[in-house]
Structure 1
């Protein structure tokens, strides 16, 4: 898996995960899965849609996680 994707939940990430953090992780995931660092023009739309879908799923995941009985706060639901 992508070793450059960092954990975005507390306590690993002491502050709240930002939209930028979530999108960067989604981009790395889609790059790894697709095998493209930057897709060709004919693949750009589907690539970008995948990044957004993964970012939404990540935000939902982080928003629903409980860490030691407390909900992870500060992640904006999309």
Structure 2
């Protein structure tokens, strides 16, 4: 996989922005498509894929439960 995609979940990253998720999505789409910049006739499909991967990334990060960390709004259980 693409080495420039960084891990976005805690504890590796405590604060993840939309820009972070979009950058990871862009790197992923570039890797699997084989295009750094798509030709004009592929630009819409490329951008749609980046948006979908970024949305899936946001959904995934929101749903993950990391051991030793409390879900949003709850204190850790002892």
Asked whether the two chains share a fold, i.e. TM above 0.5, the reply is: yes
Larger radius of gyration: 2
Per the alignment, residue 71 of structure 2 pairs with 71
Task: Summarize the alignment of residues 1-78 of structure 1 with structure 2, pairs less than 5 Å apart.
Answer: 1-13=1-13, 15-68=14-67, 69-71=69-71
Cα pair 1:22 1:59 within 8 Å, conserved: yes
In structure 2, runs of 5+ residues without a counterpart are: 74-78
Q: For the aligned residues, what is the CA RMSD?
A: 1.5
Q: TM-score, normalising length from structure 2?
A: 0.86
Q: How many residue pairs are counted as aligned between the two chains?
A: 72
List runs of 5+ in structure 1 lacking aligned partners. 74-78
